[in-house]
Amino acid sequence: MLLLALDTATETGSLALVAGDQVLMEYSLESHNAYLTCLMPGVAAILRNTGQEIADLGAVAVSTGPGNFTGLRIGLATAKTLAWSLKCPLVPVPTLEVLAAQFTFQPHPIGVVMDAKRGEVFWGLFRCPEELPQMLEGPLRLRLMNEVLGRFFDAVTVAVASVLLSGLWLLMSAARSVSASGIGFNMSLDWHAMLIGGVVMIAIFAYIRLSLFKRLQRAVQAQDTPAGAAALGRIRAWVMVNLVLGVAIVVVMRLGAAI
């Protein structure tokens, strides 16, 4: 079967003519501003260059977005008109799903992001264990995030314990060395900042792990998507606070070492 595919959802659109599993020809539309004037001439060119007739088309596939609003209207109107006039099937294809389909047989979730302009993005999360991607709905995404965060927080707990124990060992070793030389042990300001900041970071992590993550787990068990999304939002916010605090501690330590 001969299939004509139209993509006008993105900044650079394209056409393709496919026969079975073989792509006969692709045609690029370099700018979304050219869709109105170049789309149908592009269809004519791709048919002419492959020696096909428009009456030979067995189906028309078209991207349905999300994407460029004007481009989508032009592409959908053109595809619907062609399919109606030829009395052939019209196949709608979600844009994000097409992008995710490039990563087949992946064991991990696939996130697809498109620029939506005005500081916003189009976003979709998929699984693609075989040839066709499957969109992850809210409850399933929460369950996956819960599993991933559980493993992540377990690893962070081990790392925090290791850093804490090694830090205490270094501090005690330094105190013993100074005391053995008969000099009183006084920590510098940057060491005080590191100690206080480290304690605060550990407290924040404990709050995330023992409180916020528990909320997420309860939401997953209850399949309460809004509560789970709220818990994830607070986890992200406090993780960002911890990252900023960690950077501040590093800056203070560097400045203390330079003085």
- Report pLDDT digits (tens) over 133-149: 887 766 676 777 788 88
The answer to whether 70 and 14 are in contact (CB under 8 A) is no
* 3-state SS class at 242: helix
CATH placement of domain 1-93? 3.30.420.40
* Paired strand residues for 28: 14
For 130, phi and psi rounded to 5 degrees? -125, -140
Higher confidence at residue 244 or residue 250? 244
pTM for the complete prediction? 0.55
Sheet containing 90-93: order of strands: 22-29, 13-19, 2-7, 57-63, 90-93
* Beta-carbon contacts of residue 257 (< 8 Å; ≥ 6 apart): 190
State yes or no: pLDDT of 189 exceeds 60: yes
Q: What percentage of the chain exceeds 70 in pLDDT?
A: 88
Task: Grade residue 79 by pLDDT with cuts at 50, 70 and 90.
Answer: very high
> In which band, very low, low, confident or very high, does the pLDDT at 59 lie, cut at 50, 70 and 90?
very high
Whether residue 185 is predicted with pLDDT greater than 70 in this model: the reply is no
**Which of these, 70, 221, 213, lies nearest to 154 by C-alpha position?**
213
pLDDT surpasses 90 at 243? no
List phi, psi (to 5°) of 239.
Answer: -65, -40
- Judging by DSSP bridges, how do beta strands 90-93 and 106-117 pair with one another? unpaired
109-132, pLDDT tens digit by residue?
A: 788 888 888 788 888 888 888 888
The answer to whether residue 80 scores a pLDDT higher than 90 is yes
